[in-house]
């Protein structure tokens, strides 16, 4: 997760990552997809600079 992420976004990242891994996605791919999803949510919510 990016530096300065809130606890909420860190939880969201872990939840999404675990979901992908349960579906058989590799660890690296799951981490990348989760990070991209959380960053998208942050951007849409106006939480980025």
pLDDT in tens, 1-49: 666 679 999 999 999 999 999 999 999 999 999 999 999 999 999 988 7
pLDDT for residue 37? 96
The pLDDT value recorded for residue 45 is: 93
* Residue 49 in domain: no
- For the residues of 1-45, what is the DSSP string, one character each? --TT--HHHHHHHHHHHHHHHHTT--HHHHHHHHHHHHHHHHHHT
Rama region for 40: left / alpha / beta (φ>0; ψ in -120 to 50; rest): alpha
Domain extent for 13: 7-44
In a domain, 29, yes or no: yes
pLDDT at 5: 78
- pLDDT, residue 2, reads 61
Cα(19)–Cα(1) distance, integer angstroms: 17
Does residue 24 sit within a domain? yes
Residue 17 within a domain: yes
pTM: 0.86
Express as a percent the part of the chain with pLDDT over 70: 92
Number of domains observed in the structure of the chain: 1
């Amino acid at each position: 997760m990016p530096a300065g992420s809130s606890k909420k976004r860190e939880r969201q990242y872990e939840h999404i990552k675990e979901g992908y891994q349960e579906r058989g996605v590799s660890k690296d791919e799951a981490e990348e997809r989760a990070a991209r999803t959380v960053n998208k949510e942050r951007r849409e919510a106006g939480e980025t600079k």
